[in-house]
Amino acid sequence: MITRSVTEFLQAHAALAPQPEAAATARAAFLVTPTGLTLAAESAQDNRYMDLGCTVDPLRALAQHAALAQALLADCPVITFAGDPATPDAVFPNNVFATAAGRLIVGRMRHAVRQREAERSDIRGFFGELLGYDEIDLSGCRDLVAELTGSLVIDHRRGVGYCGLGERCDLPGAQAMHQAFGLRLTLCFELAAGEYHTNVVLALLAGRAAIIAADGFADPAVPLAIARACDERVIWLTPAQKQAFAGNAITLSDQRVWMSAAAAAALTDAQRAALAEYGFALGAVDLSEIEKAGGSLRCCVGEIF
């Protein structure tokens, strides 16, 4: 079921049968190095988290990215693909490539500079030829926009998706992703004006809790419904914390939440205590150079299910 009604969603969510066999977190992660990282002016058109007045130190970005890969090894295997200066946003692969059990999904990006990323034969070959995954390719669908796990935040334990509509994802794209990921239930909603991706305003933590920036949603009823679906186990973010990318977080195990150092520093003691109460340690990596490109830690991480 896919719906835009909060009432329908909550009724359907309450009726979902448990999926005890479903994995809440990925079995591995993949990254793409920020080779020759620059700020893509085309992407900045609808990404207010980018500042084209900044200059990026590509060597520092590479060092921070290497530190991220090393840190994430604490929770799961990590595979790193080489970057390409011709695709400056490729450091955020989760928008273009994502997986479900036995499937590689290739997204349909809005901007041409990012559409080129979907043509990579090495990533497609890794999943198709090496791992034997079936490929669901949305990249050639001209009648939709679907920026995968940037726009769609998934509760893998329950098979539930939360899809923010806007410049980077439309309703046909949401419907295509609902099918591609094999979801049981998806709630679609409008993002607030100026927001480009759902994963900046919402993170689901191993199916047990959520981080939510309420001002990132056009309809205030939506974040309240998400909180209810999470049994009110929620870290609520201020606009300043959202701007620091505290919503751009990920769990790669049942015990830890990963976010950037700037995001972690923005949390209050009470929020840190709540994460601990929910059973999560906090892992943080300095990504200040990469964040100039308009994304943070979660955006850097592709999940392998």
Q: Is 294 left (phi over 0), alpha (psi -120 to 50) or beta?
A: left
Is 301:31 a contact under the CB 8 Å cutoff?
yes
Please return the burial class of 20, using the count of CB atoms within 10 Å of its CB with bins 0-12, 13-18 and 19+: exposed
Cα 229 to chain centroid, rounded: 19
Q: What is the pLDDT of residues 122-158, one digit of tens each?
A: 999 999 999 999 999 999 999 999 999 999 999 999 9
CATH code: domain of residue 93:
3.75.10.10
Tokens of 207: 């199916």
Range of the domain at 63: 2-304
Q: What's the structural domain count of the chain? A: 1
d(CA 192, CA 216) in angstroms, rounded, equals 5
Predicted structure pTM score? 0.94
Mean pLDDT of 73-101: 93
Residue 5 has pLDDT above 80, yes or no: yes
Q: How many residues does the chain have?
A: 305
Closest to 98 (Cα-Cα) out of 1, 163, 187:
163
Lowest mean pLDDT among 35-44, 112-121, 154-163, 191-200: 35-44
